[in-house]
Amino acid sequence: MPELKTKVRDLLDAHDPATTDPAEFLGARFDAGLAWVHFPEGLGGLGLSRGRQEEVDRLLAEAGAPEPDVGRNSIGLGMAAPTLIAFGTPEQQERYLRPLYTSEEIWCQLFSEPGAGSDLAAIATRAVQEGDTWVVDGQKVWTSGAHNAQRAILVARTDTSVAKHAGLTYFVVDMSDPGVDVRPLRQVTGEAEFNEVFLTGVRVPDADRIGEVGQGWKVATTTLNNERVAISAGNDREAGQIGLVAQQWRDDPSVRTPGAQAELLAWWVECEVTRIAGERLRQQLESGQPGPESSAMKLAFARQAQQITGFALELDPAKGLLYDDWTMVRSASASFLGRGPGFRYLRAKGNSIEGGTSEIMRNVVAERVLGLPPDHRPDKGIPFKDVPR
């Protein structure tokens, strides 16, 4: 589309990527509607189809333009932004989307809790309304990047007299509130990208409520479906773990055995099928919100990552023992691929937990995609305050 190419050229003419500060360039890109072309005009987009984004990304990459910091702000870019577009007020969209896109404001996700396990609807963190402010008390866990975040998306319980899914409300939280206490959770890799977050008397303006009171489950479902697409996303062939192990195969003749070749080919084909299925899912997003099929993508991604990182260790066991730095690192961004095969093998263990456990993903696929009978749920329809805990 000539008009889109013209917009990209105008952006590059006015902001030379070689000499412009990355945040300034990304802000100009947002203002030009080239951040997410499928978003509305004035909110980083042009109201075009989602598929046109690839053309913009390619042209800007060829010019050496900076990219959004997905590693540091994956929650903001992949989950908060589409949720704000779907449910945010015009004021919220105007306030939050631009600094989110430039990563001047990093976001985290205050969803999981110690007492709720994989059942997000069972969360107990309370939000009580006092005039035009909500007061939040509770504890969250497994919060990626909370130590770097300025904003958070939060699901809290605002009504205990109704069934668990009906008593939730969704908010944006200022992480600089004095009632927010972030503590590191050290992982098996030695890093601490996850956190516990304690919320004590945190005050949230009602203007930062996303969606209606009691409709938090509906809003959170949109976030979670986008999260599963984001976690499992990979537009390029041989992206991620399969690309690394395939390159190892090409570079090192010593790992090439008939058995290993058969296994590598099997994983390569499975990853390619998943990639193509993911592309189809992304195309479905153009017609509405992401559906439960995203759970199948996330489930496949976790299984493949864990199996392929194990296969990489079998190819070269000595390298798998070379992970030698166990100093606790408060990493600036999440990495599935860094620090060698030993790191990747250990880090992949978290893939079947983060973004919803594989057990929950199987339930979603069984019930909402395949239409199988649901699990027995003894707390169904019971007011949350009467559910034994």
Q: Show which residues are catalytic.
A: 227
Q: Is 142 left (phi over 0), alpha (psi -120 to 50) or beta?
A: left
**Which one-letter DSSP state was computed for residue 211?**
S
**Number of continuous H segments (helices) and E segments (strands) in the chain:** 13, 8
φ, ψ dihedrals at 32, nearest 5°: -80, -5
Task: Please state, in angstroms and rounded to a whole number, the distance separating the CA atoms of residues 62 and 66.
Answer: 11
Helix axes 258-284, 241-251, angle to 10 degrees: 150
* β pairing state of 209-210 and 168-174: antiparallel
Task: Please state, in angstroms and rounded to a whole number, the distance separating the CA atoms of residues 90 and 183.
Answer: 34
Helix axes 340-347, 293-315, angle to 10 degrees: 150
Alpha-helical regions (H) of the chain = 2-14, 22-31, 53-62, 74-75, 81-87, 90-101, 216-232, 241-251, 258-284, 293-315, 317-320, 340-347, 358-364
Cβ burial, residue 253 (10 Å; 0-12/13-18/19+): exposed
Quick one: which of 145, 65, 54, 59 has its CA closest to 108? 145
